[in-house]
Structure 1
């Protein structure tokens, strides 16, 4: 190891029990905040599945890693049971680049967003109607309901049709929860409150159910034909047209469903939570909606560009509570980070939450302040100071779609309701591969 190599990076003892330290901190997301507070913007630490990783919480240092196109296979091995065609998250560059190009052509394209927008609006309105109907029955559970809504939306987008029923959506959400509970228990060797044999059985049953659900919809899609909207808004048809094999298409749909419903649902819930704690910001968002929408209950696609304050609220919420709190890459060649050189093969850890809480780039970082995202404020900030969807060629393909969905849902809900945090609860962020609330977020609704 060269003198200026990885050993020069500060951090906890390399021989320490990384799993025990992570569990004691309350999860990897909290552990990262603790490490960077104690050791600075560049930290070396023992990471389960990677021996030693280098965590980078400074956007200037992140620049050197921005073009890495490799994820550490061991860290993403927990997803392999979901995959038949090779882990979609760790595809080698030669396969990943064309696959990503197809995904972006649909997920990031305005034609696709517009084609599905009316159905997204109808699904959101239907949930709001149910909330209104049961308003006197007690608070709503934001993350439960919004994750289910986000799943319905991503299924409509990815599968070309919705799920059969509300019960189907709930069953799919539950199946993903059973899978993730099992994967978390294996990754951190922790007690999740379910005996191992029962946990594994539920995980296997969940995987069978999810595969069967996707296979059924893929069969229906084949019967309808794949030519319609193939280049613009039909993800399955685009993958077929690109020559992807059936197993890869199913794997892609499953990963899109899992990633899309978790991240978008929790992002919306954290935004509503913050607005409930800052009524002046909630009033300003509602006033903007009244001005842009008038008497209409929901925006058109073109209205979203005019909802600038709502966009700022959402971005600030994702800074304070990034839906996916971390990511990782593997250095494919020797890498210089400031005055330190790390060798090829090193796991580079991206602690998104710690980056977003870096006081050098975010003054008073724990304060909720949507004004951080005015054009003037954003222009003066390093481009990698804000990375809720990751960076570089392995960043989230669904980022643009997620923002469209989240702004639509927030617009519909804030036009219709005022949100008040139900008394007697403590909202605690925990790690479930997304930044979840431990006991959900219970919210009282008042019609506007």
Structure 2
């Protein structure tokens, strides 16, 4: 998930917030995942078809709303629904011919876009102010105040977190909350969907991962914080899925100063487009089988994988602007995929049409229908 810092001055605050709440997220993710599995189990047939790309979106939104906003869950759902509409509007804008300055003209479409944006900011601000006011009225610790919103408010007020973190402003919190919802939900559900498709298309790897999950979760029957670290094969599969189908295939970066890349001078203020998906399929780094699904390339000790990881494997970006929500994405993906494999054998549906398209994220144009066979 791409929670990109808007300024280096509050990067430490956000990164530390994710480290603090990382373990507390897992029970919430597990609970939401089991609710989804229980909905699927109500079907009477032994084998049924599910479009995982469509089905995983509300579950992912549920997890984000509960982990990020906790006690403000209802308000978070409203913000999410508005941001879903905003993504649809963004798609319409991208499909239109570019005309300079047309976005400033108060057309009916532009006015609607402005209203949606204003509503999102007002709801987010209202949620933050309500949480802040509750803290002032009640000195006792809120049982659900250790969510992402609570920790960002701590960073803003410079209390509750270690002094090494740097103060955030209200505008920073609003911006990061919006980014967390918009980027996190789409990228996480898409990552899981592509991974399930690949496991369905490669049953030998599906069986290997299922056996690993059974072994790791033997004591409790469900992934925990301890068992997640033992899912080595699943980690390899996730990395290979992120290589083949990076949720954000293109990244934009602006140079903060004049820099020289090789023999090329890049002036300050230049906006550069980084084709992540091209890096991930470059045969110079990944070999002649770069377009094939081969998770073994990420096995520990693989010299080829080690070289590629540090240079051209960039699903979560790199450097100071790397995605600090990476643990969130990988934890949720491991929990959801593990739970599904423990309950179902998945098979590619005859209705599936492979057609990845770039629409803000790399998503399947016709969904990902899979056949789920109860185990």
Instruction: Identify the TM-score tier after normalising by the shorter chain.
Output: 0.7 to 0.9
* Contact 1:102/1:242, CA 8 A, preserved across alignment: yes
Partner residue in 2 for 1:284: 208
1:244-294 CA deviation, whole Å, 9 max, x = no partner? 343432332121111111111100000001011000010100011111112
1:213 CA drift (Å) = 4.8
Residue 39 (structure 2) aligned to one of 121, 124, 130: 130
Name which of 292, 301, 304 aligns with 1:376.
301
Who is 1:401 aligned against? 328
Secondary structure of the 1:426 match is: coil
Tell me the equivalent position of 1:152. 62
SS at match of 1:376: coil
Distance 1:90 1:271, change over 3 A: closer
Helix, strand or coil at the partner of 1:327: strand
Determine the structure 1 residue equivalent to 2:15: 104
Partner Cα distance (1:340, 1:247) in 2: 36
Displacement of 1:225: 2.6
**Any gaps of 5 or more consecutive residues in structure 2?**
99-105, 157-167
1:213–1:440: structure 2 CA closer, same or farther, 3 Å change rule?
A: farther
- The CA deviation string for residues 334-388 of structure 1, in whole angstroms up to 9 with x for no partner, is 3332333333333222111000001011111110011011111233435022100
Q: After TM superposition, give the deviation of residue 327 of structure 1 in Å.
A: 0.7
| CA gap 1:120/1:375 in 2 versus in 1, 3 angstroms | same
| Matched-pair contact (CA < 8 Å) for 2:352–2:370 | no
Alpha-carbon distance, 1:183 to partner: 2.0
Question: Do 1:175 and 1:203's aligned partners in 2 also have CA atoms closer than 8 Å?
Answer: no
Q: Which runs of 5+ in 1 are unaligned?
A: 1-87
Q: Map 1:124-203 to 2 at 5 A.
A: 124-134=33-43, 136=45, 138-161=48-71, 163-164=73-74, 169=77, 174-189=81-96, 203=113
Residue 229 of structure 1: how far off its partner (Å): 8.3
Change (3 A) 1:147 1:163: same
CA distance in 2: counterparts of 1:220 and 1:261, whole angstroms:
24
Which structure 2 residues correspond to residues 410-429 of structure 1 after superposition, within 5 A? 410-429=337-356
How far apart, in 1, do the equivalents of 2:222 and 2:346 lie?
A: 18
Which of the numbers 227, 230, 243 marks the counterpart of 1:319? 243
CA distance in structure 2 between the partners assigned to 1:202 and 1:134 by the alignment: 40
Residue matched to 1:365: 290
> Out of 343, 347, 354, which is 2:267 matched to?
343
Q: Which residue of 2 aligns with 1:236?
A: 149
1:297, 1:412 within 8 Å by CA — same for their partners in 2? Answer: no
Deviation string for 1:15-69 (max 9, x for gaps)? xxxxxxxxxxxxxxxxxxxxxxxxxxxxxxxxxxxxxxxxxxxxxxxxxxxxxxx
**Tell me, what secondary structure is at the counterpart of 1:281?**
helix
Quote the Cα distance in structure 2 between the aligned partners of 1:333 and 1:213. Answer: 36
Q: Distance in 1 between matches of 2:113 and 2:52?
A: 25
Judge conservation of contact 2:5–2:321 (CA < 8 Å) in 1: no
Give the RMSD, CA atoms, in angstroms.
3.0
Deviation at 1:421, TM superposition (A): 2.0
Q: Which residue of 2 aligns with 1:218?
A: 128
Residue 262 of structure 1 corresponds to: 186
- Equivalent residue, structure 2, for 1:120: 29
**Structure 1 residues 148 and 393 mapped into 2: Cα distance closer, same or farther (>3 Å)?**
same
Paired residue total: 347
Q: Secondary structure at the match of 2:310?
A: coil
Q: Name the residue aligned to 1:328.
A: 252
Tell me, yes or no, if the aligned pair for 1:152 and 1:162 is still in contact at 8 Å.
Answer: no
1-side partners of 2:187 and 2:107: how far apart?
29
The separation in 2 between residues aligned to 1:268 and 1:198, in whole angstroms, is: 37
The normalised TM-score by structure 2 is 0.82
SS of 2:323's equivalent in the other structure is coil
TM-score, normalization: structure 1? 0.70
Of 133-142 and 258-267, the range deviating more from structure 2: 133-142
Partner of 1:52: none
What is the alpha-carbon distance in structure 2 between the residues aligned to residue 250 and residue 135 of structure 1? 45
